[in-house]
Amino acid sequence: MLTTNLLHADDGLDDGPSVSPSLHQSVNYIARDVKHLAEITAPMASEYYTRRGNPTSARLAKVIADLEGGETGMIFASGMGAIATTLMAFVQNGDHIVGQQSHYIGITEMLDKVLPRYGVTATRVDQTRVEAFERAIQPNTKLIVLETPVNPLLHLTDLRAVCDLAKSHGILTCCDSTFATSVNQRPMDFGVDIVLHSATKYIGGHHDLLAGSVTASRALVERIWDLSVTTGATAAPFNAWLALRGIRTLELRVLRQNETGLALARFLEEHPRVERVFYPGLPSHPQHELARRQMSGFGGLVTFDLKGGYSAGLAFIEKLRLAVYATSLGGVSSTVVQPAALFGNRLHDDVLVKQGITPGLIRFAAGIENTDDLIADVGQALGP
């Protein structure tokens, strides 16, 4: 069902005879006459000037909107292009945002540093506690920013509970659903207004493009589109085309990654060299019940804490033969990082530990390699 829709959601959008979608590598489009010119310059029309829209990007946006159960959407040059533009589109000087203690670093920067420069304040709360969101709401709160699951410990946010709360206060909600993917989680089913993805990750899925997506009602997307025309973080058509190719296999890849994620998490939880495993699919995850209510699969991201700390982490990564030592996630190849090493030169140890980034913490992002091969490799790298 899902993959069938993935392949057919954009049927009829492109009239050419090719089986593969056309790449509209064009900045501008020819108006037939003045009446047609009025049509193609309408908001979100995709055949006038590519900063305002592009047929290849529109096609990708339609496939994503179909997956998410949303009305429409648009594609950006990167996940951050989508997120920054969305946040800015709904606030002005004097407004307030509620966000989470843990977010993708770019969202944290927006909330803590960028928006305050323009008179927009933000309160970041413990996402695992609905009442913390409630307490943070002020009369001038315009937006609640959600992200679930989130780095580093794969905490979840109760989307239904927070969205009910937001609705009762007339506050808009947006959710970065990158880690979950549209296969494992549909935030709109729980009341989220705007769904954001870094398409760079699972949607693209092949480590070769940067893109971002927004899905929402037509009225909300138009408002974001309106600002995007000015900020110009529009996707390159070629990247949208690559992402369109990538997304056709999203379900196949994510189902494999779910299988590997769960098997790896179970394997690690039993392993004597592992202190603790963080994975929403394990009963030991403090929000496992919520994960089962809100997600249909638990993903390929597994975080775990090695006994032996920092040096054990370095040694483990060095011994891995399949997963590559690289940032990012969601592509066909498994990637592994040690968060303390990523942030080590920018933050003090106590700050890291407060965020749950212990020295021996490892983030393993499964690719689509064979599950047993990946587990055998992790096993040999952990040592006897």
Ligand X SMILES: *Cc1c(COP(=O)(O)O)cnc(C)c1O
- By CB under 6 A, tell whether 181 contacts ligand X: no
What does the per-residue mask of binding to ligand X show for 72-111, with x meaning CB under 6 A?
A: ------xxx-----------------------x-x-----
Residues in 17-76 at the binding interface with ligand X, rule: CB under 6 A: none
Binding-site residue total for ligand X (CB under 6 A)? 13
Record the tokens describing residue 19, joined without a space: 């089986």
Print the binding letters for residues 305-344 with ligand X: x by CB under 6 A, - otherwise: ----------------------------------------
Give dist(CA 340, CA 354) in Å, integer.
12
* Least separation in angstroms between CB 197 and ligand X: 8
Stretch that binds ligand X, among 174-182, 224-232, 293-301, 372-380 (CB under 6 A): 174-182
Alpha carbon of residue 138 to chain centroid = 27
Out of 205, 212, 246, 367, point to the residue binding ligand X (CB under 6 A): 212
Beta-carbon count within 10 A of 169 CB:
12
Rounded to whole angstroms, the Cα distance separating 188 from 151 reads 21
For residues 133 and 179, which CB has a smaller minimum distance to ligand X in the complex? 179
The first and second tokens of residue 277, run together, are 């495993």
Chosen residue from 173, 198, 258, 303 binding ligand X by CB under 6 A? 198
Report d(CA 374, CA 380) in Å as an integer: 10
Of 207 and 256, which has the nearer Cβ to ligand X?
Answer: 207
Structure tokens at 350: 């106590």
CB of 82 to ligand X, least distance (A): 8
| Rounded (10°) CA dihedral 262, 325, 206, 269 | 0
d(CA 294, CA 190): 8
Distance CA 75, CA 215 (A): 9
- Using CB under 6 A, list all residues that contact ligand X: 78-80, 104, 106, 176, 178-179, 198, 200-201, 210, 212
